[in-house]
Amino acid sequence: MLSLDLHPIYRNNRDIELALRQFLFTAARSGESVVEIIPGKGTGQLKRRVLAFLDQKHIRKLHAGHESAPGNEGRILVHLHPRP
């Protein structure tokens, strides 16, 4: 499973958005069905930022949905569309 850990760049909004965008495009090309993004637990601010990014209309086209990982609120599982 592909994974993106946002801990090293949590302070820079531009780097976060760039990393998320590149990760999702790479994941979509990889053929994976589920990938994980790790914003960490903390205050939840970074997780809310990631969820807002994933819910943007043009980004929603890249994935079939997302959810918090069962048993670990510091991880977000993103379900990708199956490749034809």
Fold for 15-80, please state it.
Answer: Ribosomal Protein S8; Chain: A, domain 1 (3.30.1370)
Positive or negative, the CA dihedral 4, 58, 26, 31 is positive
The per-residue pLDDT for 24 is 95
- Dist CA 69 CA 46 (whole Å): 16
Q: What are the boundaries of each domain within the chain?
A: 15-80
Question: pTM value?
Answer: 0.93
Output the six-digit token pair for 47: 């997780």
pLDDT by residue, tens only, the chain of 84 residues: 999 999 999 888 899 999 999 999 999 999 899 999 999 988 899 999 999 999 999 999 999 999 999 999 999 999 999 877
